[in-house]
Amino acid sequence: MVRAIVGANWGDEGKGKITDMLAEKSDIVVRFQGGANAGHTIINPYGKFALHLLPSGVCHGHVTNVIGPGVALDIEALLKELEMLEARGVPAPKLLISDRAQVLTEYHVAFDCYEEERLGKGSFGSTKSGIAPFYGDKAMKIGIQVCQMLDKNLLRKRLENAAAQKNVLLEKLYGRPALDVDALTEKYAALAERIRPMVCDTTQFLHKAVKEGKRILLEGQLGTLRDPDHGIFPFTTSSSPLAGYGAVGAGVPPTAYEEIIAVTKAYSSCVGAGPFTTELFGDEAEELRKRGGDAGEYGAKTGRPRRVGWFDAVATRYGCMVQGATDCVMTNLDVLGYLDEIKVCVAYEIEGCQTRDFPVTPLLEKATPVYVTLPGWKQDIRGVREYGALPENCRAYVEFIEKEIECPITMLSNGPKRDEIIYR
Ligand code: GDP
């Protein structure tokens, strides 16, 4: 039985907490795309963790964690995260790495930085983790699979092959020194040895697990609007954060899906550049940013202040639709308890016309929000465990949004901790 947890919006919706929570009732947790470029915050009895590359099931001893072939595997980042867990007293997690996953190297990170520098003010707000150059190499067939890296001669050949293209760009476009293939071969051959015990055919493993009826949780990173095809291109990421891609990037049959859980926040937040229709500015934004999340809305990866705004039902309805969501989880509901009135964006006005359909980026850039204003509940709702015990205005807010996004909100998160959850 396969379940996917994915973001309905721009990322940072609080998927880490929900995954960590549902991991308890799962046998296997799988990362299927992206790399160490985003962060999931989880808070559990071991403390607070920002995980970047490891699946969010690593704090549960009974869970097998899988890094699927669709992931950008930054081995150094992975080892650092494993060391961090050990230092914090978490027992060594069960971790399997796909032999088909490709390796994100130091030159991918370097190219990411050089390109952001070259673009200057026109940059797309990359986290400079090497993600776009990595997926570019995969598409260009000059990437390196883990299985190739485990054979030093093959690794060298693959590096030479990549360097033939990379060095032209380094010299002509960026004015930087060429790649040192010898040094790279030594470095990545050594790193490969460190992960060798974890490397296997995870696709066979997962297909067998599906047949045996194991509970498999696919963990998406970022959200719908960062999808290269369906998101706010070019302010998108380079791999698909859609549940549909989960079948590919993890290696499970698409017919095995039973649930697709889209996570959204009770307000909007977004890291990086791009149109963000319901954005708040000034004191209003600062207040929400300060109160948001578990320690304010600052990027788990970069520490950058997140842009914040009112709930955008147009973007979220689209986000849930494209994910094929069967359920929606709304997180951070507790954060809004200080507001007298709360706005919800129910349509966009573009060139004099109103629409409820999420438009292409050039039109989105011209969109202004059409708001409905709802009364706040002016109450701290942390600690509430029953839906019926929530203030009436709070339930009205949830039910209004549920109708607008056309997806059942089956869980409400009212605090960052694992047990701060209300089932409906
Ligand atoms: P992810 O990338 O989707 O996992 O999202 P992040 O973990 O980066 O961001 C979510 C933020 O919200 C983190 O700081 C979480 O600790 C926090 N968080 C999650 N759920 C809740 C909630 O219901 N209430 C509050 N106050 N914080 C939450």
β 216-223/2-7 pair status = parallel
CATH of the domain at 408: 3.90.170.10
> Which residue puts its alpha carbon closest to atom 11 of ligand 1?
293
Question: Does one domain contain both 57 and 179?
Answer: no
Burial of residue 265, with CB atoms counted within 10 A of its CB: 0-12 exposed, 13-18 middle, 19 or more buried: buried
Are residues 240 and 304 part of one domain?
Answer: no
Question: Does the Cβ of 337 fall within 6 Å of ligand 1?
Answer: no
For position 39, what pLDDT does the model report? 77
Query: In 46-93, where do the E strands start and end?
Result: 47-51, 64-67, 72-73
Q: Please compute, for residue 258, the number of CA atoms within 13 A of its CA located in the half-sphere on the CB side.
A: 9
User: Which residues span the domain enclosing 187?
Assistant: 102-195
Binding site membership of 293 for ligand 1 (Cβ less than 6 Å) = yes
pLDDT, tens digit (0-9, with 9 covering 90-100), for 330-357? 999 999 999 999 999 999 999 999 999 9
Tell the residue number behind the tokens 């990037």, with chain if given.
249
Beta bridge partners of 269: 308
pLDDT at site 364: 98
Cα(358) to centroid of ligand 1, in Å?
25
Pocket flag, ligand 1, residue 130 (CB < 6 Å) = no
Shared domain check, 398 and 372: yes
Check whether residue 29 and residue 49 sit in a common domain: yes
Test site for ligand 1: of 9, 17, 302, 390, most ligand atoms within 8 A of the Cβ = 17
pLDDT reported for residue 303: 77
Q: What is the pLDDT of residue 299?
A: 74
What integer pLDDT is reported at residue 300 of this predicted model?
66
Handedness of CA 150, 153, 158, 163 (dihedral sign): positive
The domain tally of the chain equals 3
What is the tens place of the pLDDT at every residue in 277-322? 999 999 999 999 999 988 899 876 677 789 999 999 999 999 999 9
Using DSSP bridges, classify how beta strands 341-350 and 311-312 pair: parallel, antiparallel or unpaired.
parallel
Q: Residue ranges of the chain with pLDDT lower than 70? A: 300-301
- If asked whether residues 298 and 359 sit together in one domain, one would say yes
For ligand 1, atom 27, name the residue with the nearest CA. 293
Q: Does one domain contain both 333 and 219? A: no
Closest residue by Cα to residue 335 from 288, 280, 391, 397? 288
Reading the block at residue 66, the tokens are 């899988």
Number of Cβ within 10 Å of residue 413's Cβ equals 24
- Are 94 and 221 within one domain? yes
